[in-house]
Amino acid sequence: MKQTRFNKQLILDFYGRIIGQRDIDYAHKIVAEDYIQHNPFIKSGKVGLIEILEQLKQIPPEPATKANNTLWMMSEGSLVGTYLKVDFMGKKQIVMDLFRIEQGMIVEHWDAIQEVNEQTFVEIPTVPVVENGLQEWDTAKNKGKVATYLQEVWQKQQYHHLDEFVSSDIIFHVPTLGKGYDELREYQQQRLLQKVHLVIAEGNFVMVQCSAVIQGEPHVLYVIYRLEQGKIVESWQVYQPIPMQMVHANGMI
């Protein structure tokens, strides 16, 4: 629990002090020199992050309260996953970030960013607070349930098993709103899940990082699932095309 709190606070500081305040000195303290970057448009290593911060310093920072109102996070082991609604330079974006922390330093970062219109940005709800009252075995069961669902239902397209994993009144934000089995089935059939790369869980939430084919093009896909009594009742998704060329050789996943 102490490690979870420390890791979450480190990422809060990353957003607040490094991204929000453009504090380059603090970036040197908490970001590893060989920081592995998976965002396809930012150079790998701490040097790539510093380069972006130097560019951001030319732009007035957003008020800290604005960023805090749109940030949600969860953590398991060395990983911290976040969900943000970002209003930056006139662009409305839904962002999911994933960070790996080792020995008190941020050593790796993945993300997916999806631009949305004004109405969707306003209507899509922020993810609720993680319920930490669950026992560890409940969290492990939730994690296993989602992993099995992704493999047996979504990846293999075996939708006759939906009711074993998903509540019939499921709500999913993709980021536009969808409800129920029929819409979920149609949505997933249009997005062919290729591989599940990472799964983390905390309390009643599970976050997954996947590769998928959408409209014939490779994408990275992040999903946050909320479970109640062993079934998925709500989810949030962000997906982003994987470009042919990147500024590093790390890939997006």
What's the pLDDT band for 134 if we cut at 50, 70, 90? low
**Token digits of residue 94:** 């839904």
| Residue 223 DSSP code | E
Which residue ranges make up each domain of the chain? 2-123, 136-241
Q: Which two tokens stand for residue 3?
A: 């490690």
What does DSSP assign to residue 204? T
Long-range contact set of residues 134-137: C-beta below 8 Å, sequence gap at least 24: 134/203, 134/204
Q: Do 2-123 and 136-241 show the same overall fold?
A: yes
pLDDT tier at 118, thresholds 50, 70, 90: confident
Q: What is the pLDDT of residues 138-152, one digit of tens each?
A: 889 999 999 999 999
Which CATH number is associated with domain 136-241?
Answer: 3.10.450.50
CB of 242 closer than 8 Å to CB of 179: no
pTM, rounded to two decimals: 0.91
Hey, what are 93's tokens? 């974006």
Q: pLDDT tens across 105-117, in order?
A: 999 999 999 998 8
- Terminus-to-terminus CA distance in the chain, angstroms? 27
CATH 3.10.450.50 fits 2-123, yes or no: yes
Cβ(165)–Cβ(156) below 8 Å: no
d(CA 47, CA 66): 27
Residue 22 is given by DSSP the state -
Mean pLDDT of 68-82: 85
